[in-house]
Amino acid sequence: MSATAAGWLQAGLLVVALAACHVPLGDHMARIFTGDRHWRAERVIYRLIGADPDSDQAWSAYARSVLAFSLISVVLLYAAERLQHLLPLSLGLPGVPPALAFNTAASFVTNTNWQNYAGETTMGYLVQMAGLAVQNFLSAAVGLAVAIALVRGFARSRTNRLGNFWVDLTRSLTRLLIPLSVIGALVLAAGGVIDNFHASQVVTTVAGGHQAITGGPVASQEVIKQLGNNGGGFYNANSAHPFENPSPFTNWFEIFLMLLIPMSLPRAFGRMVNDTRQGYAIASVMALLWLAAAGGISYFEARGAGLAPAVARGAMEGKNVAFGIPGSALFAASTTVTSTGAVNAAHDSLTAFGGGIALFDMALGEIVPGGIGAGLYGMLILAVVTVFVGGLMVGRTPEYLGKKIRPAEMKYAALYFLTTPMVALAAAGASAGLRSPRASVLNPGPHGLTEILYAFVSMANNNGSAFAGLSTDTLWYNTAGGAVMLLARFAPIIFVLGLAGSLARQQPVPASAGTIPTHKPLFAGMLIGVIIILVGLTYFPALALGPLAEGLR
């Protein structure tokens, strides 16, 4: 089978599998967050944390709960890393240095999973399982809870209540993430992903040398890494490591896991606002942009544009030969349009335009389909912006799902959109301008700038994938990166919840002749245009100095 045919087959099977899961999984998520019945195990959790599951929170209380829970998570994970050498299953590894421990704690709590370390030589099994893997579940559940709160803002009226964060968090875990992770872990283990507690074992290589091979509980963590759009690898090579991703089947399945919940959430949104057509419109925009990203990276990687690929007659550098260009390109596109950040190839070795598309995918705000929860609430905010722009164009009062888009709502939307690029570009500019951070760049010129830009866009958008060639385990990148991840994660969440509260207080207005239909192809096209134009205006100057300059020279 040719590489082109293999790529089409993989993408086609993904579309079929995701389409088959869209309705049943979306309906299941809608039932999770609209049902009144609490499971017995959930009631035990509520008693342990002192939460009243039957109370309803205003948006400000919901936001305080998110921030308090996340702050406690950062502190506990930081403490576990620093005290690792005193914990069981540490494998004799020392405590993690302070700056690196802060960066890692911020990274996993924000669903970024940016890693300035080699997992198998830095973290013991207990910290991997009880620290990092637990945060893979919890950070994904936080993003999902915030998305559901925004949906309730559209669905409810004349109230300032958005639900209960502790109930949303718990149900996300007990009824969605944990059950799917159990099934996914069994599939991965059957596919050859290891799962054990073996310490390092010295083996003799075919050349007669000796190499230490580290085992570990990988399959059980690999599934939530992809399903929760986290991306942090048990091994330094991430999903390029044969213990994490041993075959073309597991490679395809891991891509499927990345996209499963984000592509099904629009259905849950449609059910919760009692108009499934709205969910289909959002899902179609996500799918089209994802396919465009996958097609673009596949094209440039297969074409091998650039001097070095032309000399080598191909662009296989940095790619796993078991997956080839189709499997690597599809993985790269899917991991950057979601907030996963796992890699099965070296993104730094992508062609200039292929790497530029991966960077642009993250700059979109990871809404195509985006991270678990974050993709949906980002897309809904851009839908609000699109309705506002459309209303200005035709001289109508902008409305979305029966809610007027007034100056208050637009302020929240604008703050949400502007925060992430401001944080990412400011940090990238400082890193390129200051002497000490600039010394970490191993590739001068446009490619070096791309590496810096990619790093902070990745961190600010909770992705976590990286270009090689940039030494980030330094005091600057650990502290600045941790601050970027925390600010770019939680400031937008506050604006999302503020918007949800403002919408929930409104009295719905009936549709009229001047109402823009938001479930039709025309609106979907407008939404795609707004997404591309807003991102282009924000990031184009930086992209022009980096990947575009490198690709055109």
Task: Report DSSP letters for 337-384, one per residue.
Answer: HSS----SB-GGGS-HHHHHHHHHHHHTTSTTTTSTTHHHHHHHHHHH
In this prediction, residue 225 carries a pLDDT of: 94
SS3 assignment, position 202: strand
DSSP-H helix ranges across 173-323: 178-190, 219-227, 248-272, 276-303, 307-312
- Mean pLDDT along residues 238-242: 90
Q: How confident is the model at residue 305 (pLDDT cuts 50, 70, 90)?
A: low
* Stretch 427-438: mean pLDDT: 89
How far apart are alpha carbons 257 and 247 in whole angstroms? 15
Q: Is the dihedral of CA 552, 470, 368, 221 positive or negative?
A: positive
Mean pLDDT of 286-302: 91
Contact (CB, 8 A) for 163 and 148: yes
Distance CA 375, CA 365 (A): 8
* Confidence grade of residue 511 (pLDDT, cut at 50, 70, 90): confident
Give the pLDDT of residue 359: 86
Name the band, by pLDDT with cuts 50, 70 and 90, for residue 3.
low
pLDDT at 209: 84
**Which of 110-114, 206-210, 336-340, 414-418 is the least confident region?**
206-210
The per-residue pLDDT for 208 is 82
**Preceding amide of 97 cis, omega within 30:** no
Residue 311: pLDDT band (50, 70, 90) is low
- Closest C-alpha among 299, 355, 317 to residue 467: 355
pLDDT class for 5, splitting at 50, 70, 90?
confident
pLDDT at 315: 65
Token duo for residue 219:
């399959």
Average pLDDT across the chain, whole number = 90
Among 73-87, 296-310, 324-338, 418-432, the range scoring the smallest mean pLDDT is 296-310
| 514 vs 124, more confident | 124
> Angle 134-155/475-504 helices, nearest 10 degrees?
30
Q: 197-207 pLDDT, tens per residue?
A: 887 788 888 88
When pLDDT is averaged across residues 534-548 and rounded to a whole number, the result is: 80
pLDDT at residue 541 in the model? 81
Interatomic CA distance for residues 296 and 303, integer angstroms: 11
Instruction: Give the residue-averaged pLDDT of 165-194.
Output: 96
Confidence of residue 416 (pLDDT cuts 50, 70, 90): very high
d(CA 111, CA 461) in angstroms, rounded, equals 10
pLDDT, greater one: 321 or 80: 80
Which token pair is 247?
């075959």
- CB-based contacts of 498: which residues, under 8 Å, 6+ apart? 59, 63, 412
SS3 assignment for 79-122 = HHHHCHHHCCCCCCCCCCCHHHHHHHHHHHHCCCCCCCCCHHHH
Contact 378, 367 (CB under 8 A): yes
pLDDT tier for residue 309 given thresholds of 50, 70 and 90? low
pLDDT band at 307 (very low <50, low <70, confident <90, very high): low
What's the average model confidence in pLDDT over 91-101?
93
The answer to whether 358 and 332 are in contact (CB under 8 A) is yes
Strand partners, 201: 213
β-partners of residue 58 are 161
545 pLDDT above the threshold of 90: no
Which pLDDT score is estimated for 312?
55
- Phi, psi of 452, rounded to the nearest 5 degrees: -65, -45
State mean pLDDT over 59-65: 97
Residue 96 pLDDT class (50, 70, 90 cuts): very high
Whole-angstrom Cα Rg for the chain: 23
Nearest to 547 by CA among 368, 374, 361: 361
Average confidence (pLDDT) over 346-366: 84
Supply angle C-alpha 516, 520, 526, rounded to 5: 70
Q: According to the model, what pLDDT value does residue 451 have?
A: 87
CA gap 217, 265 in Å, rounded: 29
Q: CA 538 from chain center: how many Å? A: 20
> Is pLDDT at 497 greater than 90 in this prediction?
yes
Q: Is the pLDDT at 313 greater than 60, yes or no? A: no
pTM: predicted TM-score of the whole model, two decimal places = 0.93
Q: How confident is the model at residue 385 (pLDDT cuts 50, 70, 90)?
A: very high
Phi, psi angles (nearest 5°) of residue 372: -60, 115
Pair 340, 231: CB distance under 8 Å: yes
Distance separating alpha carbons of residues 172 and 166, to the nearest angstrom: 10
The DSSP bridge partners found for residue 379 are none
Mean pLDDT of 47-67: 95
